[in-house]
Amino acid sequence: MSGPLAGITVIELAGIGPAPFAGMMLADMGARVIRVDRIPSGGNSALESLMRNDGVVDRGRRSIALNMKDPRAIEIVLELIGRADILIEGFRPGVTEKLGLGPVACHSRNRKLVYGRMTGWGQSGPLSQAAGHDLNYIALSGALHAMGPSDRPPSPPLNLVGDYGGGGMLLALGVTAALFEAQRSGQGQVVDAAMSDGAAVLMAAQYGLMGKGFWRDERESNFLDGSAHFYGNYECADGRYVSIGPIEPQFYRHLLEKCGIDDPQFARQWERSEWPALKARLATLFRTRSRDEWCELLEGSDACFAPVLSMSEAPHHRHNVARGTFVESDGVVQPAPAPRFDRTASELPSPAPQVGQDSGELLRELGHDEAEVAQLVGAGVVYVSQAS
């Protein structure tokens, strides 16, 4: 693997949501990520099918499948940890301790190990043991309350704010920062990444604006939440949408000039009382042309403009094509690794492995001979996928 994390080994205790996303980020940057999977149960419910082995988020892994109820399997994980730099897990607080894979046990094998813990509510606090999902975590941060129209319930922003932005990326940043420190101090540490904390951190600017009296604690009443006429999405004549966001006065003037608007009412950009009327007038204007016609007029200018593309359209946009923002692997279109590095460029890692695909090879790398591997497989401690 290439990338700035080449040579770093990560152990990922398999789960769903933000921890695998952090694993993807680390693998994309060149880390060797070994995913410890549970032996497949054979279930095929709709939920199990949904959660099983996401081909994009789980890219770049090697997989070893173990019966985690067997002490011999736990010993194998500890052997892997002894050679690793980072461990990431996404269970409720206390679960890995019960397995025998808590921080104390792992640091006794590898004192430099960075132990990354990904949860919704954090390792402590009155909600730490409660179940939840992205929507619940961002609800507690103030983020969800701020999103959506004022006359309807708050709008879920997919699972981007909790699971991925406030979760997986926060964990990836945390473990790489701790790794940097461990390489200087010789000691690892526990990284407690909580989605409720991460969603709050993502709201730093809004809390800062509110502290200055420039942000109202009400939906659709601020310049970034759909209230202002100069920051939002507008329907076009063909039923598709465009986005505009000329916040700065020079960009706002440019939009007006490009659109042929010379009405003095539009000069009152920051007068909140004018926003509803100006928004209605822009809505009428944008419905006079198709999305493509607006792109021809505004795209690439300083009007702060972009078409609102569907997931099917986005990979084919000329800017995304020029930058290679999306790639295709085994017939699956997916985002390319990001950010970009000029010296240690990242490459798209291998596709997601089958559960247990690398079990035998990883055991042999740990020093287990063929007879031992066969014995562990025969005893149901280790699972080797048929594909391998």
Active site residues: 133, 163
Question: Six-digit token pair at 54?
Answer: 């996401």
Residue among 2, 5, 9 at smallest CA distance from 64: 9
Distance separating alpha carbons of residues 288 and 273, to the nearest angstrom: 25
Cα–Cα distances in angstroms (integers) from residue 282 to residues 188, 235, 243, 334, in the given order: 56, 10, 12, 35
Q: Which amino acid is at 362?
A: L
**CB-based contact 194:119 (threshold 8 Å):** yes
Q: Is the dihedral of CA 104, 109, 113, 118 positive or negative?
A: negative
Neighbouring CB atoms inside 10 A of 253's CB total 17
For 68, residues 6+ apart whose C-beta sits below 8 A from its C-beta are 36, 38, 74, 77, 99
